[in-house]
Amino acid sequence: MATMEQCMTALKRILGDLAASPAAAGLDRSLSCTLPDLDQVVRGRLARGSVHELRAEPVDQSLEKADIRLTMTSDDLLSLTDGRLSFAPAWASGKVKLEAGLRDMLRLRKML
C-alpha cells in the first residue's frame, strides 16, 4: 500500500498532465479521487490549465460530490503514474472507476 504523500505526488502529476491537455481548455470542474485502501478522498479543482486546491480528507467526512470522480487503490494510482498500468485497460477491468456527466466523459475521452 502506498503512502498518502506518494499518492498526492502521483495525483499532482497525473492531473497536471490532464489539465495541460488542449482538450481541457476552458474546463472548470471539481474533481475527487477516492483511495479506499487509505480511507481518503483527495479533492481539487481542474481550471485554467492546472489543478488547484488539492486536499485529502477522510472518506467518512466527504459530503460533496465532485463533477469528476475517480476511485482506485493507492497502488493502482502509482502504477498509472509510473506507466505499469494504462488507463483504458484499468478502467475496462474495473481497477479504476471514473464517474462524470456525459459532457465531461466525452471531453475526458479526448484527454486520456
Give residue-wise pLDDT tens across range 28-82.
889 999 999 999 999 999 888 888 889 999 988 767 789 989 999 999 999 998 8
Q: State residue 3's pLDDT score.
A: 93
The burial of 31, by beta-carbon neighbours within 10 Å (0-12 exposed, 13-18 middle, 19 or more buried), is given as buried
* Fold that domain 4-111 belongs to in CATH: Nonspecific Lipid-transfer Protein; Chain A (3.30.1050)
Q: Which residues pair with 45 in a beta bridge?
A: 30, 52
Quick: pLDDT tens for 7-35.
Answer: 999 998 888 887 787 777 778 889 999 99
- The domain spans of the chain are 4-111
**Which strand ranges, in their side-by-side order, compose the sheet holding 40-47?**
50-58, 40-47, 28-35, 68-71, 97-100
Backbone phi and psi for residue 27, each to the nearest 5 degrees, phi listed first: -75, 130
